[in-house]
Structure 1
Amino acid sequence: MTALLQVRGLSKAFGGVQAVRAVDFDLKPGELLAMIGPNGAGKSTCFNLINGQLQPDAGSVRLAGEEMIGLTPRRIWRLGVGRTFQIAAAFASMSVRENVQMVLIAHHRRLRALLPSAAALYRDEAMALLEQVGMAGQAERACGILAYGDIKRVELALALAAAPRMLLMDEPTAGMAPAERKALMALTASIVRERGIAVLFTEHDMDVVFGHADRIMVLDRGQKIAEGEPEAVRADPQVQASYLGSGAPAGAGWEADA
């Protein structure tokens, strides 16, 4: 299958610190690629370069053959690249359904129709998305009173509302209990594979990474030191020497932040 995302030679320095060094990788539709590494490895910088929040010193980022370097985050979103963040956010005073409707309205370029007809716009579509992520029963509750795990599900619905071809997911299970983490990532994997959405995600829970990623890419000090299927990465001598250690559990030596 042809790659949806092609990253070549991606590099970024901040002063004398080389945050990302000539990183290359591809991402196919329906594939989940985990980007992992210790604190300061360059994961968040890579995300911000791909998403247009930072401009690289060198390199290329192509989505379906179209160069994204130099585009604004809004334009990149319009091309079909969604993003979720480590700290989930929604309009606290609005209902779960209203939050999803707002994204649908923006996606369909209907912002001028917000008043007075907003409450009726894309209501059924919003409810269908909430049903898919298991939040239809809480559609009329204000987001500000939801449990954090439920907010993470709402955030997934918000990302899906823009019909993305690719998702950048920054710590999608951060702040959740272990059982919630596994359930949310299993749900995410099921939905994105069904829809053929490419996913690049970072995650500090190695059980989640090794349990759900199709491939894993390991960064260290801005450089890619390993890439492959989970078991191949787990057995990689350089990864073991740097982080996992002989006989150490899968998560040993890893940090959550980029």
Structure 2
Amino acid sequence: MSVLSVRGLTKTFGGIKAVSDVSFDLEKAEFLALIGPNGAGKTTCFNMLNGYLRPDAGSVKLDGTELVGIRPRKVWRMGVGRTFQITETFASMTVRENVQMALISHHRQTLDITHRARALHVAEADALLARVGMAADADRATSELAYGDLKRLELAVALAHRPKVLLMDEPTAGMAPSERIALMALTGDIIKAEGVSVLFTEHDMDVVFTHAHRILVLNRGRLIAEGTGAEIRANAEVQAVYLGGGSVFHGEAGGAHG
């Protein structure tokens, strides 16, 4: 059984179908890319998968359990994590404290005022920071971090919730090429080691074709192609959608944005 099963997902805004009858599966430990031009419906699709938006029609099942109609916080507790295009961390806290806050929430200790937060889950937080290559930065102020390090911290925070599925919305946006390579390689290692299933959107086609096990292509809310990198490169409809940026399908950087 697929970890995440999506069937007939549909969402309309003011008579415009942002997402129309989208169906796909995400397998265990799969690195699945969702790409498409601007306005293709990628973010709307993401927002329905974790309960931020309720679809007009369709089904989203996690390990066979229906998620449609469940509040985002409960969906998160059931095992659907998310990172965002713009990092969401606490700048006033240290790197370790950011991860500790996520762990306190994961362990449902948010309302426990009998302990000092800084004393909770220190070893677990440090282990997660080591997992993303930030052990040496644990005591640094988050406000001092470079953007690439913020992205790695956000990944550690997401992993604190032990997700079955991780939704990554444009994880390499704003990063230098070397940082993009490092972050996606790290994510790939985590997928292999821990069996997390990842669905990600991405602008950089080099990142997509280098790292994704499989690729989904949206255009005007409709799923127009699904397959391996080689199959997507050869798809005539996908090439037409990316007309003017088609060079990305032949190994060149840049070009396609969505």
Q: Which residue of 2 aligns with 1:134?
A: 133
Q: Which residue of 2 aligns with 1:178?
A: 177
Match among 238, 253, 257 for residue 255 of structure 1: 257
Match runs of 1:195-214 below 5 Å = 195-214=194-213
Q: Which residue of 2 aligns with 1:44?
A: 43
Distance 1:193 1:163 in 2: 15
Q: Which amino acid aligns with 2:143?
A: G
Distance 2:135 2:248 in 1: 38
TM-score scaled by structure 2? Answer: 0.95
Q: Do the aligned partners of residues 224 and 253 (structure 1) sit closer, same or farther apart at CA in structure 2, a change above 3 Å counting?
A: farther
Distance 1:90 1:3 in 2: 31
**Aligned pair 1:233/2:235, yes or no?**
no
CA deviation map 1:47-98 (0-9, x unaligned): 0011111111100000000000000100000100000000012111100000
Q: Which residue of 2 aligns with 1:85?
A: 84
Distance 2:149 2:255 in 1: 29
**Aligned pair 1:107/2:106, yes or no?**
yes
Q: Which amino acid aligns with 1:137?
A: A
Match runs of 1:45-60 below 5 Å = 45-60=44-59
Kept in 2, the 8 Å contact 1:218–1:224? The answer is yes
Distance 1:112 1:248 in 2: 53
Distance 1:201 1:169 in 2: 5
> Aligned-pair distance for 1:246?
9.6
Give the count of matched residue pairs: 255
Q: Which residue of 2 aligns with 1:15?
A: 14
> Aligned-pair distance for 1:115?
5.2
Kept in 2, the 8 Å contact 1:39–1:254? The answer is no
| % identical equivalent positions | 61
| Structure 1 stretches of 4+ moved >6 Å | none
> Aligned-pair distance for 1:237?
1.2
Task: Give the alignment's Cα RMSD to 1 decimal.
Answer: 1.4
Structure 2 spans left out of the alignment, 5+ residues: none
TM-score scaled by structure 1? Answer: 0.95
Q: Which amino acid aligns with 2:146?
A: A
Kept in 1, the 8 Å contact 2:18–2:41? The answer is yes
Q: Which residue of 2 aligns with 1:70?
A: 69
**Aligned pair 1:188/2:190, yes or no?**
no
What is the SS of the residue equivalent to 2:168? strand
> Aligned-pair distance for 1:7?
0.2
Q: Which amino acid aligns with 2:92?
A: S
Distance 2:85 2:194 in 1: 23
Structure 1 spans left out of the alignment, 5+ residues: none
